[in-house]
């Protein structure tokens, strides 16, 4: 009986299935909140869930933009306050000149 190069006998198939089942049983993935814990043949690797990192990047960028807007708003308020102080001092000086203390 000649064997074609693409044919696999039953013994080879059993060996391949055993190797596959052994390797898959040695890899375990557990989700612990934001952490994905991968156990490969007794060695544990912890990885932060990528979607959470992306969400955090979006949140940080949003907060940075918000801080920039707040800084601009504060700068504008300080300018307005300084202008009001100048006007008040100018009005005080004008009133002081008009008041007769006699």
Averaged pLDDT for residues 76-86? 97
30, 37 Cβ separation under 8 angstroms? yes
47, 35 Cβ separation under 8 angstroms? yes
pLDDT of the residue at 35: 87
Neighbours of 80 (CB within 10 A): 10
The contacts of residue 36 (CB under 8 Å, 6+ apart) are: 29, 30, 46, 47, 48, 49
Cα→Cα distances 1→5, 7, 8, 11, Å: 13, 12, 13, 16
User: What percent of the chain lies above the pLDDT cut of 70?
Assistant: 72
Averaged pLDDT for residues 61-77? 98
Strand partners, 48: 35
Is the pLDDT confidence value at 4 over 90? no
Model pTM above 0.75: no
Digit-coded pLDDT (tens) for 15-48: 555 444 445 568 888 888 888 888 888 888 888 8
């Amino acid at each position: 009986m000649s064997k074609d190069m693409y044919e696999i006998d039953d013994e080879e198939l059993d060996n391949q299935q055993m190797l596959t089942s052994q390797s898959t049983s040695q890899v375990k993935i557990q989700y612990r909140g934001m952490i994905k814990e991968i156990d490969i043949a007794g060695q544990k690797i912890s990885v932060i869930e990528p979607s959470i990192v992306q969400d955090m990047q979006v949140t940080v960028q949003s907060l940075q933009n918000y801080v920039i807007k707040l800084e601009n708003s504060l700068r504008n308020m300080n300018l307005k306050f300084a202008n009001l102080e100048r006007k008040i001092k100018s009005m005080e000086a004008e009133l002081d000149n008009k008041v007769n203390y006699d």
